[in-house]
Amino acid sequence: MTQDLLGLTIEELKQFATEMGEKPFRGKQLFVWINRGVSDFDEMTDLPASFRQALKEHACIGHATVLRMQSDHKDGTKKFLFGFGSSGDTEEKGSLDAAEAVFMKYKYGNTLCVSSQIGCRMGCRFCASALGGFKRNLTPAEMLSQVLTAENVTGEPINHIVIMGMGEPFDNYDSVSKFLKLLHDPAGKNMSYRNMTVSTSGIIPGIRRFAEDFPQAGLAISLHRMTDEGRSAIMPINRKYPLEDLLAAARDYTQITGRRITFEYALIRGENDREEDVALLKKRLQGMLCHVNLIPLNKVEESGMTGSSRKRAEAIAEELGRGGISATVRRELGSEIDGACGQLRLRQIKD
């Protein structure tokens, strides 16, 4: 049986090397090569030739396959549809074993928006990820392969990670946790936890666990509405974890970590961008260590919703600022490509 080595920790690779009759330190050498994006054992030149031959016979390094890629020539954004395993284009329609990632360029470095699941079961009305249904969780190896493959394709290093792609990260907590630790390992990508942000729709046990496990990492919570009735109508998760409990968990998070929390607020014209909505947003976040990221909603035909104008978004940011709440309007990246999470996978399924 062939052992896939991608996504294994140093300790796991040391154990594998020992089982192959090698010294444990060979496992660490393997880890370094794998996390550099090397998948050809012959390129691992500090390994003995006999070990490299045994690896070719008994092991492999899995990787994501680029099924589609869209590029925005104005700002360098690239959106990937990654296939995993042997899925390719052979999946039945509606069951594509693929997920999306978005490469974005900023002044402070390159960020990859990573998916944690294929599809999503949260059922948010405005999100394209849920339209194709939930298929499965991604493994730590499949999340790591998004990073390594994106680096290989772009030829550029990835300095920051946001787990804001397809799926709900806290619905796949253990795999997300291992992925973050793999990125952080000094022998691998050596990425600071401060350069990692995880976004949740509001799974409170995950928020509390994350605060304890990763106090240096960033947390973003999708709010979008500020009443239980309104939020439950577009985000069914609110029925299980109501808004008041969610905001209490957010306050606890800031006290435990000392870090500012980000609230994502997708602006939907006529639904959550009215003056009364802004007033309630200010009232409920008053005094909290937070930042509001205002997002003019990407158009998803199937949702029947329309995003607010950028001008309206900027006016809301100014109003929040006057109320003492830090707020910005998300920079528009990838305007030439399918911007919303799940759109590219949905297009592939339809095609």
| Parallel, antiparallel or unpaired: strands 109-113 and 98-106 | antiparallel
Closest CA to 183 of 118, 114, 137: 114
Instruction: State yes or no: is 100 an active-site residue.
Output: yes
User: What residues form DSSP beta bridges with 148?
Assistant: none
Alpha-carbon torsion (294, 230, 243, 205), positive or negative: negative
109 alpha carbon, distance to own chain's centre: 17
Q: Are 118 and 133 in contact (CB under 8 A)?
A: no
Q: Are 198 and 217 in contact (CB under 8 A)?
A: yes
Rg (CA), the chain: 21
* Active-site choice (11, 60, 100, 271): 100
Instruction: State yes or no: is 341 an active-site residue.
Output: yes
Name the CA dihedral angle for 336, 342, 344, 347, rounded to a multiple of 10 degrees. -120
* Active-site choice (120, 124, 290, 341): 341
- 236 vs 229: CA distance, rounded Å: 10
User: What residues form DSSP beta bridges with 104?
Assistant: 111
| Parallel, antiparallel or unpaired: strands 196-200 and 160-163 | parallel
Q: Please give the positions annotated as active site.
A: 100, 341
